[in-house]
């Protein structure tokens, strides 16, 4: 378990007064239960930890995290106990694979709020769910990618076959299909090129798979993060350095810097972004103000501008970014409907 200590008592009291909080931030420790990876994993753990860091700077809460010894229910339960014993009374669980662990222990730790990112393990007063429309973010990223590259084969290498990954793959494919149908692009994402590695911590497997795909003529690979995605970025950088076209579309956070090679060039075409940090900070603030409603999921999507692609994407032309802004509005007002999962799409 690692502890975040960036708090000053004067600033805490100042933030408490300005924020109008019913609880003092310094009295709350927020713990992050990682999915088995570290907090600098280029994905969910990093985005969630950044949200706790943001909440610490804004509201004065303490932050700790625990990396489980094993990424299974027993490992997660042990890490939850470690966080609770370390003082955490709000625990952020950032992956669907943690569902059974939260369900198993939430009644034991009744004075602890469990904030679940993207999944609802059980309906309970001490379990809050933050839902991000990964499918909408991926739709916009798929549309932007197809608009930019115009044609060719695309692929997707995802960590595990879980609901969030299926929403990503479904949205990405739908965004490409929308571009092909309405703008005349000719991008192909074959079902056989949607690959689940089976882990979010296997960079080697992802590197091997991505090299085969790129060398077979695939121009761009979508990946949904974790340490697994780093293998794809590193492979793409090596190939681009030797003259082979290789683009990557990242997820969760802006992955431009992860793809940088040869100065400031990047293999990152764009990213399907969920603005998780702001959402977690908002959740902490609601709890401190005694205004956290756990009766239904809190939804973050195009309607509140919490998903999409990064502003100022260097490899996406300005006119295409502006078109993406219009697509975002169409999704927000339901003019364009984005499928929930890959399985809901025709092959």
Residue percentage of the chain with pLDDT more than 90: 76
Distance CA 7, CA 306 (A): 28
Tell me: the pLDDT tens digits for 117-173? 988 999 999 999 999 999 999 999 999 999 999 999 999 999 998 888 999 999 999
Q: Where are the domains of the chain?
A: 2-132+276-303, 134-273+317-344
Q: What is the mean pLDDT of the chain?
A: 90
CATH for 2-132+276-303, among 3.40.50.920, 3.20.20.70, 3.40.50.2300, 3.10.200.10?
Answer: 3.40.50.2300
172 in Cβ contact with 141 (< 8 Å): yes
- 2-132+276-303 and 134-273+317-344 agree in CATH topology: yes
136 in Cβ contact with 307 (< 8 Å): yes
Name the H helices within the chain.
9-19, 44-59, 73-85, 99-105, 134-149, 163-183, 203-215, 227-241, 276-288, 318-332
**Alpha-carbon distances, residue 320 vs 33, 171, 172, 270, 323 (angstroms):** 38, 18, 16, 12, 5
pLDDT value of residue 344: 53
- The encoded tokens of residue 299 equal 């939804």
Confidence of residue 201 (pLDDT cuts 50, 70, 90): confident
- The encoded tokens of residue 127 equal 């379990």
- Classify burial at 238, counting beta carbons within 10 Å of its beta carbon; exposed 0-12, middle 13-18, buried 19 or more: middle
CATH number of 134-273+317-344: 3.40.50.2300
> How far does CA 340 lie from the centroid of its chain?
16
Tell me: the pLDDT tens digits for 286-339? 999 999 999 999 989 999 888 999 988 999 999 999 999 999 999 999 999 998
166-184 b/e with 16+ CB inside 10 Å = b? Answer: bbbbbbbbbbbbbbbeeee
Confidence of residue 347 (pLDDT cuts 50, 70, 90): very low
């Amino acid at each position: 378990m690692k502890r975040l200590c960036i708090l000053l008592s004067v600033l805490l009291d100042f933030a408490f007064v300005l924020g109008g909080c019913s609880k003092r931030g310094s009295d709350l420790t927020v713990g992050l239960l990682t999915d088995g990876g570290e907090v600098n994993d280029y994905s969910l753990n990093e985005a969630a930890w950044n949200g706790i860091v943001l909440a610490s700077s804004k509201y004065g809460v303490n932050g700790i995290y625990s990396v489980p010894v094993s990424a299974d229910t027993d490992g997660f339960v042990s890490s939850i106990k470690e966080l609770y014993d370390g003082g955490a009374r709000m625990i952020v669980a950032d992956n669907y694979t943690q569902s059974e662990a939260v369900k198993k222990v939430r009644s034991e730790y009744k004075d602890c709020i469990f904030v679940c990112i993207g999944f609802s393990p059980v309906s309970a007063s001490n379990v809050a769910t933050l839902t991000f429309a990964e499918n909408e973010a991926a739709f916009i990223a798929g549309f932007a990618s197809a608009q930019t590259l115009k044609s060719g084969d695309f692929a997707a290498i995802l960590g595990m076959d879980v609901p969030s990954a299926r929403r990503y793959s479904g949205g990405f494919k739908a965004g490409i299909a929308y571009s092909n149908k309405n703008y005349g692009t000719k991008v192909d994402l074959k079902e056989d090129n949607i690959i689940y590695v089976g882990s979010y911590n296997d960079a080697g497997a992802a590197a091997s798979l991505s090299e085969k795909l790129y060398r077979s003529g695939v121009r761009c690979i979508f990946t949904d993060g974790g340490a697994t995605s780093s293998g794809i970025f590193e492979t793409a950088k090596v190939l681009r350095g030797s003259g082979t076209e290789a683009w990557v579309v990242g997820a969760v956070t802006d992955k431009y810097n992860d793809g940088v090679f040869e100065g400031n060039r990047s293999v990152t075409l764009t990213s399907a972004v969920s603005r998780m940090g702001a959402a977690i900070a908002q959740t902490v603030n609601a709890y401190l103000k005694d205004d956290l409603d756990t009766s239904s999921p809190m939804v973050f999507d195009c309607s509140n501008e919490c998903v999409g692609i990064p502003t100022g994407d260097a490899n996406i032309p300005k006119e295409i970014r502006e078109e993406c802004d219009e697509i975002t509005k169409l999704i927000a007002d339901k003019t364009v409907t984005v499928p929930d999962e890959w399985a809901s799409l025709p092959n």
